[in-house]
Amino acid sequence: MSLAISPAARDLMAAWLADVGALRGGSEATVTAYARDAAGFLAFQTGHHGDSMGLSPLKTLGPRDMRAWMAFERGRGVSARSLARQLSSVKSLYRWWAERDGFDATAILSTRSPKFQRKLPRPLSVPAARELLETVEAQDTRDWVSARDVAVVTLLYGCGMRISEALGLSAAILPLTDTLRIRGKCGKEREVPVLPMARAAVARYASLCPHDLAPGTALFRGVRGGPLNQRLIARVVEAARMQLGLPATATPHAMRHSFATHLLDAGGDLRAIQELLGHASLSTTQAYTGVDTARLMEVYANAHPKA
């Protein structure tokens, strides 16, 4: 579909993506999503107007063009949530472009996002999280593969890591100490404590792994020795949760949700949990932990000197 975009529009998009990636610190996944969303929008407008659109016509798109694009996306089965994300990408492009070239992009920027109900994360109970860890270990008969999968999921639950962060670890961290520096979204670094159970799980995997875990190489490996793919961990967790009768929401990422929720339930400070998760916004942490307003006010009352 992106082949229908004019050369001028492709050059414009390339310059914007370079800015998002380099100057604004967008992650590779963010840049890829932006590229896909913007390319789809520009390709639709080209087809909608029946001509190869240069930059001038794209500057004059109006509300009808936006409604036509959104109707097209919904018609092909795109959810309201996904369409809202696509619209956000398009607005980001036009906001950047309008600032650079000095034109009025109000018609694009004022387009209302489709309404959708935000789904709160579904953390596991403490017993379910323990059972899931134990059941993950039984999913493969090869000792080193079993130890690897347990080590990954233990890091998600024990350190609150994202799956991409865990699989992005270098073998240079071996042997694990009681703290670990993680590079998260947008290159933001944070330091997290490593529980003895997590250190033990990683050490066991490292001792059994048949591949050379040299510094500078990936810590977690696939069977052939390459970096471990996220899908493999997702499949292992899916098999384990089906054996336990856990809901479909029991995913690798749910272990991170559970980490945050269990810390909060045990009396952990919300701001400290925010730092451990690497969230830029406290409201994001609130969504992860399912905190209600009363709990937020309690934390505020206990922490603020003037409360």
Q: What's the token pair of residue 211?
A: 């591949």
Q: Which residues contact 297 (CB under 8 A, 6 or more apart)?
A: none
Q: What's the token pair of residue 116?
A: 């959708």
Cα(45)–Cα(39) distance, rounded to whole angstroms? 10
Q: Which residues contact 122 (CB under 8 A, 6 or more apart)?
A: 247, 249, 250, 254, 257
60-80: b (≥16 Cβ within 10 Å) or e:
ebeeebbeebbeebeeeebee
- Cα distances from 140 to residues 50, 147, 238, in angstroms, run 55, 9, 13
List, by residue number, the catalytic residues: 162, 185, 253, 256, 279, 288
* Strand, helix or coil for residue 205: helix
CA proximity to 246, closest of 120, 119, 128: 128
* Strand, helix or coil for residue 74: helix
Angle at CA 245, nearest 5°, toward 122 and 143?
100
Q: What's the token pair of residue 185?
A: 């979204």
* Strand, helix or coil for residue 180: strand
* Strand, helix or coil for residue 100: helix
297 in Cβ contact with 307 (< 8 Å): no
For tokens 């937020």, what's the residue?
Answer: 296
